[in-house]
A and B are shown apart, each in its own frame.
Chain A
Amino acid sequence: MSARAGIVEHVTCLGCGCACDDITIVARDGRIAEARNACALGAAWFGDGSVPDEVRVHGASASLDAALDAAAALLAGARRALVHLATDVSCETQRAALGIADILRGAADGPTTATAAGGVLAAQRRGRAGATLGEIRNRADLIVFWGVDPARRYPRFPSRYAPEPPGVFVSGARAVAGVDVGDAVAPDGVEPRLRLDPGEELDALAALRAALAGRAIAAGARALAERVAPLAERLRAARYAAVVYDGESASGGGGGGDTRRAEGLIALVQELNAHTRAALCALRAGGNRSGAEAVMTWQTGFPIAVEFSRGAPRYRPDEGAAAWLARGDVDALLVVGDPAALASLPGADAPRVCIGPRASTARPEAVVAIDTGVAGIHDGGMAFRMDDIPLPLRPSLPGPRDALGVVTALAERVRRAAAGRPA
C-alpha cells in the first residue's frame, strides 16, 4: 500500500450503521483523494485518511514498549478499571479489549449505553420482530418512517435499502408512509402522514395495536384511534411492512422514555405479524458500535454495561460507563477506539489509557496515548452493520500501528501482571 496512487474497491464505510460496502477509495500521495459512492457523512468519516501517529506517556513521546509497560502498570494497579469500547475499531480489537476488563475484574461498556440502550432493554423484555436490511430491501412493500428522516443521519439508507432500490419480491413502487413525532419528522413529501405530539406517541402505538387486534377502544381514546386508523389499515394491507425508526436517541442519555417507546414499537410490529409479515428496523449509528454489543454479548452474555468485580460478568444496564465515571468509581480508564465521545463526560478525567484512532488528541491528555489506524481506513478486520450483518474491513491507506496488535500486546502484559496479584 506504499504506492503513491492506489484504488481500493468494495471498502466498507463506518460513517453510520448502514455500513455501505461499495465505496471505492482513490488514494494519492498517502491521502484519500476520493471516496466514490460515499455520501457526505461517509466522505467526512473517511476524510483524507490522515490521523496522528504518536505514542505518548505523560505527554512526552515514548516507545511503544515503554507505553505498553506504563499502560499495563496503570491498569493492573487499579482497584476498578473501566474498559470503554469506543468507535472505529474492529471486532477483533473489541474482543481483545474486553478480555482486559475480564482479567482485571474491572468493568466494560460501549457507546450504546449512552445513546441507544432503550432499544436493547426493550428487546430484552419482549424480543423483537426484525429483518436484515437486505430482506427489507427485497421484500417490504410498505415502508413506514416513524419519526425519522434517514437522510439526516443515515443518508444512503433510502437508496441502498429502502424504499428506492428494486427488490426481488417487490413489484412496482413501494408504498411509503410517515409518522411525525413532534419535530422528529418523516421525510418530506411522504404521504400519508400521521402527526403526533411527543406526548401522544405511546398512546398512538397502543391505539394502533388495538386497531390491529380488533380490540375495543376506551371512550377517551377514540379521537386518537380515529387518527391512527388509516395507518393501521395500511399496515394490515401490506404484504410485508417495515417500520423504520431511529434507534439512537437524538439527545443522548437514553432514559426510560426511550425504552417505553422502543417497547411500544416492538409490540406493534410483533402484533402486526399476527396478521401479515412485518419487521421493525432500528437505525443505528456507525463506528462498529453494533460490533461492540455483539462481542460483549458473546463473551459476557450482556450487550452493554458489564462489570467483573466478582470474577464473572454482572449486568448493570441502569448504570454504565457514564454513571461509573460520574460517581468516581473508576480509578483507571482504558479507552479502545476514538476517544472523542468520552471527552465530555464528567469524571472522564480519571487516569486514562487511550488506544485507538486519534488517541493522542484526547483532552484532558491521557497518561498513555497510543495512536492507531482507523478500522476500515488503515486497519482491517470485521465490523457489524446496524442489523448485525458482519462485513469485512478493507484498509485503503497505510496508517499508524494497528489497534489489534497494540491491544493484544497490552492484554498479554496485563495478564502477566494480573497473574502476580491476589485474586
Chain B
Amino acid sequence: MKARSEVIAQFTQVAREQNKPLAPLTDDLPLFDSGLDSLCFAIVVVRLEAALGVDPFDTDEEVHFPVTLGDFIGFYENAAK
C-alpha cells in the first residue's frame, strides 16, 4: 500500500506546485486526463524513485507505458515486490 499512497501524494504535490487542476484520482483515470503534463510526470517518477527506491521504467525488458492511474500504481507495486 506504500506505493499507492506515495503515488497519490506525489500526484497531489506536483499538481499543487505546477498549478495544475487535478482530476479525482480513481484507478481508471487515464493519466493524460489527470491534469498533469509530461514534465509533471517526469517529476513524479524521479520523486517516486527517491521515496520508494525503485524506478520500474529503468529495465532492459520491454516496458509498456501505463495508461491509467491504476496501471501506474500497479507498475510501482510490482516493482517493489
- A and B found bound together: no
Interface residues of chain A, those whose CB is within 8 Å of chain B, are none
Interface residues of chain B, those whose CB is within 8 Å of chain A, are none
